[in-house]
Structures are given as structure tokens and as C-alpha cells.
Structure 1
Amino acid sequence: MADTAQLSVDGDGVATVTVDRPDRLNALNVPTLRALRDAVEAAADEDARVLVLTGAGDDAFVAGADIAHMQDMDPQAAHEYAALGHDLAAAVEAFPAPAVAKINGYAFGGGLELALACDLRVASEQAVLGQTEIDLGIIPGWGATQRLPRLVDDETARRLIYFGDRLDATDAYEEGLVGDVVAHDELDEYVADLAADLAAKPATALAAAKEAINQSYETSLDAGLDFERRTWAGLFGSHDQREGMRAFLEDRDPDFE
């Protein structure tokens, strides 16, 4: 992978993928998108139990797509660029473990879209978030028109996209765009603790839970309930199911695989 994306995996199985273009506020060009996709795939190959996405430096998570790279694109080049962004977001959304966006600064445009593909979002109190594409004469192209209304209410999503408003971390929390806001100097420790808690959970069950929740956006209620029922039943007989229930009955901490 290119040096604009860094992957590290700790002893608990927490994989951290960092966008490393701090001089450009971690804006996403084609090489960086490809490097991030490769890093996410490599984290999956490492059987990571949690995926954390963040940006290098103290100023930005990802300030968006690289506008200098985009400005002279024709529709065909723009379509190919959008496909790369969608591929990356889809890889995060389908990652077989919870994905956490550690939003340490600006998250605009494609940066916010990358965070939307994650399961959980934790923001520094100095973070600022927005779908800012409208003022560039375009619309979100990496998933926000679909994922944002599923996360916040329909009118909030429309206002964010139509006006291109920027929200500080507190307002983003109040709108349901992020799940936690913490002091900037506590963000690393907070997300590390959250990720460690997730990594200690049974990985097979977490993956099943993520897949079942994702199904709720793709199918009817009846089909989703059927998927849940079959997935739930399929976990019986696994080590983690037997260990978790045995530990509960024996009033001790479980030892999951």
C-alpha cells in the first residue's frame, strides 16, 4: 500500500488504519483511496477484531476528497473516482468486525462519508463535520445521500446536504451523527478503551450481529427477521456460545476465542 495509509494491529486484534496526508488535511486522492482500501483488506486478512479509522495529525480526520485532483475531471473520470470511494466505504461497511471512526478533526465531504460507513463514530470536541459538496457544485458521491438519512432523520440529512452546513462536535452529537464526544487530548485513550472492550467480545457473534443489522437496510422486515433467526440459531454449538452461557451459569468471566 502507498505511504498515505498506515496500518497497525495491536496484540488485542485492534487494527488502526490512518490516513496519512496531514499536509493536505488527509484529503483523499486516487492513490490514497487505493491505499486505504488495501489497508482495510489487509486488516481483514489479519482477522482483526476491531477496525479503527482515523487521520494523521491534530487538524483533520479526512477533510474530504482532493479538490485539486477533482476539478478538471470529465464525467467518466468522475465516475471512476466515485467508484473508488464507494469501494472503500463498502469495504468498511462489510468489514467482518465493528469499525470505529476516530474523528480527530475536520470530517468534510468524502471524509464524513467514510465515517458514515463505520459502525460507531467518536469525535474530538474540536471536530467539525459536514457534507459540504453543494458549495462545489456537486453532491455527495461516496454514499452520504443513502447512509446519512439512515443515521439521522430525513430532514436533517436533507438540510446537511442541501445547505452544506458544518456542525461542531456537540451539534453533531445532538443530531445523532456521532455517538460520543470527548476532550481532544482524551480521544486516543477513549477510543483505545472502547476498541479493547469490543475486541474482548466474541468475534463470531459480533460479526453476525453486524451482518444482521446491515441486513435491516437491504431487505424487508420479514426477510430481515428470518435472517436474524437463522443467524442466531447458527451460533449455537460454537465455542463462544457454549463458553458464554457456561460462564454466565458459573458466575465467572467468559474466555472467548
Structure 2
Amino acid sequence: MPYLNVTDDAAELFLGAEGVELDESNPENRFALAWLDQVTALLDEAFAARKPLIVSATGKFFSNGLDTDYIAANAGDLPGYLDTIHQLYVKVLTAPAPVIAAVNGHAFGGGAMLALCADYRVMRSDRGFFSLPEAALNMPFTRGMASLIRTRMSDTTATEAMLTSRRYGGDDARAAGIVDESVPADAILGRAREVARERAALVGDNLSTIKRGLRLPLLEDLNTATPVTLL
């Protein structure tokens, strides 16, 4: 399960299990309901620490997004499940602290969108892909998800990413403006911590207020309930 480390510089939220490269129960850090509950609780704890937030993981995956096994077994609950994911995005987008994503490995679908919620993104350059595979999987984007992607990328990149399911390596993601930096694996957390130190003075409720104003249309889209007709 996800865990939190609070240091002098930042609150560091790791999406995998502490002490192992891969969480045996959820090796791809998919959005299982218990996982979502844990991440939400840890975010509250991180915000209470009044420090910049770094979101990362260990092993091969940052996050592979939606829990497809849960969806297959609970199709009738899918709209509510997606709305729960939307609220996770809202929580990160409106954090009262700078949020830095240290994308250590594959970030696909919902996991890629979680990375997009960060204020600053650093991605591993040597391995791992950022991808929105929904078109290839014959899956739609919700209103909130489409708005998130559209407002966090250029129109050219969003169009390519959403309509072709392209897989972007770290350098390609940097060139496309998806992430702010692409660095070697052994430098990713160090660079995220540098950014956290640079922005530490900005922590506070005023930052959350500014983010809400900046992202108001996006937040309205994410707070709109997912209709059954989308599916």
C-alpha cells in the first residue's frame, strides 16, 4: 500500500509498498478502492505537515491507472468509481502546497493523469513511458479527464496523446511539454527535492486559493458526475 515519508524538505508520497520494489498485492499501483482510500488519507496527512508534496513510486510503475479487474466485476459501479478518481485529482490539483511528480516508471491512463495534476513533473529518462491508451483500448475519456488533459498539455500534444495512444519516453515527454524535466533514474528524487526546496516558501492556504481560481473550469468538469450514458 502507499506510504508517506515526511522530511525536512517535503512530504514524500510513494504509490507503492514500503520496503519493496513492487507491491505484491498491487504491483502496478492501480487505482483499487482501498488504494484510493489510502492515498487520500496520506494526502491529508501530507498537507497537515505544511511542506511541499512529492509524489513518486518505486519499481517499474508510477501507476498503471484504473483497476480493470474491479471494473470488470463491478460494471454497474463504474460511474461512481470514476467520480472517486476525479476527486483524487481535485485534491491534488488544489493542494495547499507545491506538488512535484517524480515519475519513476510507467504512467498509463489514470496514472498518467494523476501525474498531470502535479504543478511540476520530473520523469525518468532511461526507462518507462507516459501514455493515454484509452483510444487503443476502445475506452472513452470522462468529461473531467478530457478537461484535465486538455488544460495540462498543449492542444497539439493532447490531440496526439488522446487520439493515438502514443507512448512517450522521458525525453519525448519533455519535448512534448508533458513533463518539465527528464533526468536519469538516480537523479529523479534528488531533482524533485530541489524543486520542493525552491518552492517551500509558497506552502499555505493562499496557494490552494490561487490554484482553485486558476483551474476553476477544470475543477467544475471534474466535479460533474459521470453519466451512465458515457459508458
For the aligned pair, the TM-score class normalised by the smaller chain equals 0.7 to 0.9
Which residue in 2 is equivalent to 1:230? none
Q: What SS does the corresponding residue of 1:64 show, helix, strand or coil?
A: coil
Deviations 1:96-122 (A, max 9, x none): 011111100000001011111111110
Task: Find the aligned partners of 2:177 and 2:212 in 1 and give their Cα distance.
Answer: 18
Task: Find the aligned partners of 2:47 and 2:70 in 1 and give their Cα distance.
Answer: 29
Task: Find the aligned partners of 1:203 and 1:182 in 2 and give their Cα distance.
Answer: 25
Q: Indicate if the aligned counterparts of 1:109 and 1:132 stay in contact, CA closer than 8 A.
A: yes
Q: Indicate if the aligned counterparts of 1:26 and 1:56 stay in contact, CA closer than 8 A.
A: no
Deviations 1:162-206 (A, max 9, x none): 22111111111111100011011111222122212222x2434xx
Q: Indicate if the aligned counterparts of 1:139 and 1:161 stay in contact, CA closer than 8 A.
A: no
Pairing 1:17-32 to 2, within 5 Å after superposition: 17-20=13-16, 22=22, 23=24, 24-32=27-35
| Residue in structure 2 matching 1:39, options 35, 42, 46 | 42
Which residue in 2 is equivalent to 1:112? 112
Q: Indicate if the aligned counterparts of 1:97 and 1:210 stay in contact, CA closer than 8 A.
A: yes
Q: What SS does the corresponding residue of 1:155 show, helix, strand or coil?
A: helix
Instruction: Look at both structures and tell me which one has the larger radius of gyration over its CA atoms.
Output: 1
Please report how far the alpha carbon of residue 161 of structure 1 lies from its aligned counterpart in structure 2 after TM superposition: 1.2
Tell me: CA distance 1:161–1:28, structure 2 relative to 1, closer, same or farther (3 Å): same
Is 1:11 the equivalent of 2:14?
Answer: no
Task: Find the aligned partners of 1:180 and 1:152 in 2 and give their Cα distance.
Answer: 14
Please report how far the alpha carbon of residue 142 of structure 1 lies from its aligned counterpart in structure 2 after TM superposition: 8.7
Which residue in 2 is equivalent to 1:85? 85
Q: Indicate if the aligned counterparts of 1:130 and 1:166 stay in contact, CA closer than 8 A.
A: yes
Q: Indicate if the aligned counterparts of 1:170 and 1:181 stay in contact, CA closer than 8 A.
A: yes
Task: Find the aligned partners of 1:18 and 1:142 in 2 and give their Cα distance.
Answer: 28
Q: What SS does the corresponding residue of 1:135 show, helix, strand or coil?
A: coil
Tell me: CA distance 1:72–1:155, structure 2 relative to 1, closer, same or farther (3 Å): farther
Deviations 1:38-75 (A, max 9, x none): 1101111222x201111122x1111222222222332x
Please report how far the alpha carbon of residue 215 of structure 1 lies from its aligned counterpart in structure 2 after TM superposition: 1.6
Q: Indicate if the aligned counterparts of 1:8 and 1:16 stay in contact, CA closer than 8 A.
A: yes
Tell me: CA distance 1:114–1:202, structure 2 relative to 1, closer, same or farther (3 Å): closer
What is the aligned length? 209
Tell me: CA distance 1:143–1:111, structure 2 relative to 1, closer, same or farther (3 Å): farther
Is 1:55 the equivalent of 2:57?
Answer: yes
Larger relative contact order (CA 8 Å, sep ≥ 6): 2
Q: TM-score, normalised by structure 2?
A: 0.83
Q: Percent identity?
A: 23
Is 1:169 the equivalent of 2:167?
Answer: no
Which residue in 2 is equivalent to 1:218? 216
Which residue in 1 is equivalent to 2:221? none
Q: Indicate if the aligned counterparts of 2:100 and 2:118 stay in contact, CA closer than 8 A.
A: yes
Task: Find the aligned partners of 1:140 and 1:165 in 2 and give their Cα distance.
Answer: 16
Task: Find the aligned partners of 2:100 and 2:28 in 1 and give their Cα distance.
Answer: 20
Segments of structure 1 that go 5 or more residues without pairing to the other structure are: 220-257
Q: Indicate if the aligned counterparts of 2:30 and 2:66 stay in contact, CA closer than 8 A.
A: yes
Task: Find the aligned partners of 1:9 and 1:77 in 2 and give their Cα distance.
Answer: 35
Q: Indicate if the aligned counterparts of 2:53 and 2:100 stay in contact, CA closer than 8 A.
A: yes
Q: TM-score, normalised by structure 1?
A: 0.75
- More displaced 10-residue stretch of structure 1: 156-165 or 26-35: 156-165
Tell me: CA distance 1:202–1:91, structure 2 relative to 1, closer, same or farther (3 Å): closer
Which residue in 2 is equivalent to 1:196? 197
Tell me: CA distance 1:142–1:182, structure 2 relative to 1, closer, same or farther (3 Å): farther
Task: Find the aligned partners of 1:101 and 1:73 in 2 and give their Cα distance.
Answer: 30
Task: Find the aligned partners of 1:136 and 1:86 in 2 and give their Cα distance.
Answer: 20
RMSD of Structure 2 on Structure 1 (CA): 2.0
Please report how far the alpha carbon of residue 216 of structure 1 lies from its aligned counterpart in structure 2 after TM superposition: 3.1
Q: Indicate if the aligned counterparts of 2:100 and 2:195 stay in contact, CA closer than 8 A.
A: no
